[in-house]
């Protein structure tokens, strides 16, 4: 359920990455069952735009119907220590789902996406050396354990994309 804190409704759940683990697909699936950000799939509030304040964040969500959960699908939060700390400090506890995908397939997919958008000009081998996000976001157990330590193991659920899709 949505939670009230700071006078605003806050998410009761977050689906965090890492990137290229099915977050766009899951956003489509959950759209009719939960209140998700309306302007964009990702607000980047807890890792990048926290200085804009909770009122700005709350403005990204439509009014919820009774009993409808509020959530955010945010792949970039997975490796962000800032996001992890800020979410753990929310006035009432949120649940976090970490989605994982075959790490080699995921890195190749992320490389192709970044390359297609012109974010990285290098070959795949060069990108593995020059773009730290490619490998850092694949350190699944390191980041999962950090989330579990910050929020408690009972509030952080690991899931495999293939299982969710089935």
List pLDDT tens digits, range 66-106. Answer: 778 999 999 999 999 999 999 999 987 899 999 999 999 99
Rounded to the nearest 10 degrees, what angle do helices 81-88 and 140-151 cross at?
20
Averaged over 15-34, what is the pLDDT?
90
Cα 158 to Cα 29, 56, 121, 153, 163: the distances in Å are 18, 29, 33, 10, 11
**Among 28-32, 59-63, 149-153, 159-163, the range of highest mean pLDDT:** 149-153
Whole-model pTM?
0.88
Whether the predicted pLDDT of 1 surpasses 60:
no
pLDDT-based confidence at residue 150 (cuts at 50, 70, 90): very high
Q: Bridge partners of 83?
A: none
pLDDT above 70 coverage of the chain, percent: 95
The rounded percent of the chain whose pLDDT value lies above 90 is 73
- pLDDT tens string 44-60: 999 999 999 999 999 99
């Amino acid at each position: 359920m949505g939670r009230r804190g700071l006078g605003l409704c806050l998410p009761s759940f977050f689906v965090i990455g890492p990137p290229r683990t099915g977050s766009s697909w899951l956003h489509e699936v959950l759209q009719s069952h939960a209140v998700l950000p309306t302007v964009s799939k990702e607000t980047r509030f807890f890792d990048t735009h926290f200085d804009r304040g909770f009122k700005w964040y709350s403005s990204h969500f439509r009014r919820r119907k009774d009993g409808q959960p509020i959530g955010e699908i945010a792949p970039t939060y997975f490796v962000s220590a800032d996001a992890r700390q800020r979410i753990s400090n929310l006035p009432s506890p949120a649940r976090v789902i970490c989605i994982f995908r075959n790490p080699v397939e995921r890195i190749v997919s992320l490389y192709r996406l970044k390359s297609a958008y012109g974010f990285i000009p290098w070959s795949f081998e060069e990108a593995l050396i020059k773009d730290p996000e490619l490998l850092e976001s694949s350190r699944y157990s390191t980041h999962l354990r950090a989330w579990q330590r910050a929020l408690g193991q009972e509030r952080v659920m690991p899931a495999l994309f293939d299982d969710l899709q089935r």
